[in-house]
Structure 1
Amino acid sequence: MLIDFSSRPPLPEFSPAAPHLSNYRRVYEASETLSAGSQAARGLDGYLETYERLGTRHVVLKARDLSTTFGFKIANESVADFVKSHGPRFIGFAGVDPYQADAVAAFDHAVNHLGLRGLNLQCFELKMAPDDARLFPLYEKAIELDVPVNIHCGINFSTQTPMSVGKPEYLDNVMVRYPELRAIASPPGWPWVQELIGVAWRHPNLYIGLLAVRPKLLAKAHSGYEPLLQYGRTILKQKMIFGSAFPMMPVDTAVGEMNSLDLSDEVRKLWLHDNAAHFLRLAPGNEAVR
């Protein structure tokens, strides 16, 4: 069984114009070209059929509100409408603009009225480090609502924002202040992978999202990702969560590369399903024993 923690449907409302991400298109050109020819990219029917064929339990879709910084928005309403239209397989995370006075209220509305089940903070697009005090009310609301938060971690390729905002040390500051917060660092921290491993090891409620990175790189010498494989199949095996990051990568390719890693059946099941189920507080469904 599979849970994909990161995906975007091939619909206009999920892909508005994003000039601030133009450098991403250069960096990910090869994998996005491959993705464009995949079954999931062949319209909405192909996208839905891909997840059906793979036996996917859930797919997480994330809103983003960058109105103040970049005039970009994947609306909470668009995510909620998709989830409502396409059934319980899809789970939505909210996106709010922390520069706006109503950010906390918008987050509360997204959860309590739209049915979204988490918060997405792409901090480099917000031009804030994760430990910026302007985000504290959102973390406090997430704790109150008992929903998880996805926080961007690691390098970003938007040259309009310093890459330093993605350092795991800022997440450490957040988790020290809010140890009860359920959070996931994704992508998995490159080029500060070992630092992220240390932070995740320290904090019981911090997970690592294996998304926006080719899974095969975890086994490639000198890639910088190798420690994720070493620690992720041992002391952090219950912290690793898979996401395809479609359309940055074909869903089938990401799953295939994950299945090709040297993992035990127990650990593979944790990475591909059970850890995400635990993080999302899903109803029990043949999860590995903890």
Structure 2
Amino acid sequence: MTSEADPAVETFDEYLSAYDRYDARHVVIHASDLETTFGVKIPNERVAEFCRAQSPRFIGFAGVDPHKGMAAIRELEHAVRALGLRGLHLPCFELKLAINDARLYPLYAKCIELDIPVTLHCGFNFSTATEVTYSSPLFLDQVMVHFPELRVHVAPPGWPWVNELIGVAWRHPNVFIGLAAVRAKYLAVAASGYESLLQYGRTILKDRILFGSAHPLVPLATAVDDVQSLYLPHDIKRRWLHDNAMRFLRLAPNTRKE
């Protein structure tokens, strides 16, 4: 569902044309505010300007810093109402906050009020400057009990807590699992830790798996080819690559012929 720059793309035009080659209807990109924890910020204004220039393909998600309190809530509302961004991105491990941290709750409530989804990091990370437990899916379960109306996209898909994430998604119909920042081909590899995601992703959770590339971690072509190589019915692949994201983002149905 999300994407950044492909390392194989050498120019801006080539970056854009990569999505043309796959006839991508929409691409989600996001801002990020990590000023408190890492001194880094990708402004919402910059993302909104890019999305306007490349409309209608690109959809922007806001990034705010929960450590800033009410300023973060006001910034989120401005990003949505004034800048036209359509979701919130919260990389909790980079924010050094657990998914169920009380400082995030006002933002979750604001997402419901604004009728926008939120993307959360939910899985392992390799940064020793932060903790892996911030992204535990069991914390997400507590959030969904308190905010059942919240639309949540979690990525990467939970490793090493894949089964826990599946259980949380099974319990909460507004939780969607993104195949971002991981090679989808590993879902079909025995003992990879992802095998159960393939089983549940083609059955009980078939309507709640979302494609993502997380460039530059996985190039776009590689990410698409990995999904296409899985032994899945065509209709399941279409749900993963297109239909589920359209429903999650509440976009108009695609009327193009396949």
TM-score (norm: length of structure 1): 0.86
Distance 1:260 1:152 in 2: 26
Shift, 1:267, TM fit: 0.4
The question of 1:128 aligning with 2:97 is answered yes
Distance 2:217 2:156 in 1: 12
The question of 1:277 aligning with 2:246 is answered yes
**Aligned-partner SS, 2:33:** strand
The amino acid that maps onto 1:124 is: F
The question of 1:117 aligning with 2:86 is answered yes
**Aligned-partner SS, 1:68:** helix
- Report the identity percentage: 59
**Aligned-partner SS, 2:36:** coil
Q: Which runs of 5+ in 1 are unaligned?
A: 10-34
Q: Deviations over 1:191-247 (max 9, x none)?
A: 000000000000010100110000111111111011110100001000100001111
The amino acid that maps onto 1:96 is: V
Match of 1:213 among 159, 171, 182: 182
Per the alignment, residue 55 of structure 2 pairs with: 87
Shift, 1:96, TM fit: 0.2
Distance 1:244 1:144 in 2: 29
Q: Deviations over 1:147-200 (max 9, x none)?
A: 000010011111111101111000000000000000011110000000000000
Distance 1:284 1:54 in 2: 18
Comparing both chains, which one has the higher relative contact order based on Cα–Cα distances under 8 Å and sequence gaps of 6 or more?
Answer: 1
The question of 1:197 aligning with 2:160 is answered no
Per the alignment, residue 4 of structure 2 pairs with: 8
Per the alignment, residue 62 of structure 1 pairs with: 30
Alignment RMSD, CA only?
1.1
Distance 2:112 2:102 in 1: 16
**Aligned-partner SS, 2:68:** coil
Distance 1:120 1:129 in 2: 14
Shift, 1:286, TM fit: 4.7
**Aligned-partner SS, 2:106:** helix
Distance 1:284 1:253 in 2: 26
The question of 1:97 aligning with 2:65 is answered yes
How many pairs align? 255
Q: Which runs of 5+ in 2 are unaligned?
A: none
TM-score (norm: length of structure 2): 0.97
The amino acid that maps onto 2:12 is: L
Per the alignment, residue 178 of structure 1 pairs with: 147
Distance 2:11 2:80 in 1: 28
Per the alignment, residue 222 of structure 2 pairs with: 253
Distance 1:170 1:43 in 2: 40
Distance 1:199 1:277 in 2: 22
Per the alignment, residue 211 of structure 2 pairs with: 242
Task: Answer yes or no: is the 8 Å Cα contact 2:2–2:214 preserved in 1.
Answer: yes
Deviating 4+ runs (over 2 angstroms):
none
The amino acid that maps onto 2:247 is: H
